[in-house]
A and B are shown apart, each in its own frame.
Chain A
């Protein structure tokens, strides 16, 4: 599974961090960082939830 974030659309509101903190992080600079671009299958449900919760639909999951 590959996580792709459209950083132009991202507003850094951390909805995804709340859903999958092992994959997404907003740091002190206010920017979103993807901690694991290819997270393990075990994170799939959390990552899918993050993508669904993202208010700007900035997250896509490949495969």
Chain B
């Protein structure tokens, strides 16, 4: 293998590039990125950067000298030609490759009622965040945040710290409902309320109102919530459209085997938010978090350099964190809807606790609230629980 193309110049793509070099690959590595920027940190976009604590210069990832990467920025991969093994760029350039890393990530989902209008934002890229910050700079905005997942929740916390009036709207009964369930979500709801957020849960938005700039959102029941700023945070969609017709299997992401090798092509791997791979323990999984983008970039690079079929399964214990109102929320493992939850340390009212999720009395995940000192131990507990399961299955 002499040349690798990496599509997507962000966390997973850069991690794969680093790992290829670290493993001794000395051929050409071309990294193609649609954004005009070198890789940067997204997590602060809803936190320190949105609050104005950090400026843009702090967001860049450290890129070591000597990696010899060829960056093609502000360049979009438009197609993959599987016969000629070339990535075709939107401007017609063709990049031949021996190996390909798909790391095109995900974009903010735009619901059916989305309109392009002054004062309406998503929060995925530094350009999004910059535009939002500029809009908020005059102060005293009336903001509606649609979607109380982790990005919407963090944005609510950041904007409250700046003194904006914030209404948080979600169709679910509580924040972070899909990930945390009803009881933990209620603890998050209390956190928003105690910081002066106007909660509007179980409410479906069906239109954005406004002619030249936004004036509010309309709910399905006809009510209009006034706003001069609307942030839509209703999930992310994997960027796979450019791979249609390439022979790769696409189904909520690029479908990979357990080693991150893409199905439907030779020497093509995927990593990060775009990759849906067969986790040896959880089955088909796509993770939209920081640590996974880095670790899966490593794993995908290793698979690309291994002989076909000789890659090693990628089997992480999933982990993510979220910072809201100075509180640390962390989730280890991958609990599913309907898993039983119970608090095992501390108490929810004290805003310092640990809760475990279980299914059929097997541990599936651990949620930590202001209990960062316990996260390493619990990650081991979750890993040990699988090991026990595997041993049990073999016995």
Contact = CB atoms under 8 A, between A and B. Distances in A.
Interface of A: 9, 11-15, 17-18, 21, 25-28, 30, 52-53, 55-57
Contacts, number: 50
B61 A57 contact: yes
Interface of B: 15, 18, 41, 43-44, 58, 61-62, 290-291, 294, 319, 321, 323, 328, 330, 370, 372-373, 375-376, 379
* Chain A interface main SS type: loop
A55 B41 contact: yes
A59 B370 CA distance: 22
B41 A57 contact: yes
Contacts of A14: 321, 330, 372-373, 375-376
Given A13-B372, A26-B372, A27-B373, A53 B62 contact: no
A9 B15 CA distance: 21
A13 B370 CA distance: 10
Contacts of B43: 55
B290 A55 contact: yes
Nearest to A51: B62
A2 B370 CA distance: 29
Contact of A26 (B58, B294, B373, B379): B373
Nearest to B44: A56
Contacts of A30: 328, 370, 372-373
Given A55-B290, A57-B61, A17 B321 contact: no
Contacts of A27: 373
Given A26-B373, A53-B294, A18 B323 contact: no
B319 A18 contact: yes
Given A52-B18, A55-B41, A55-B43, A12 B372 contact: yes
Contacts of A52: 15, 18, 294
Contact of A28 (B61, B373, B375, B376): B373
Nearest to B321: A13
B330 A13 contact: yes
Given A30-B328, A52-B18, A56-B41, A15 B291 contact: yes
B62 A57 contact: yes
B372 A21 contact: no
Contacts of A25: 373
A12 B376 contact: no
A13 B372 CA distance: 7
A17 B41 contact: no
A15 to B, nearest CB: 6
Nearest to A11: B323
Contacts of B370: 30
A21 B373 CA distance: 11
A57 B294 CA distance: 13
Nearest to A25: B373
Contacts of A17: 375-376
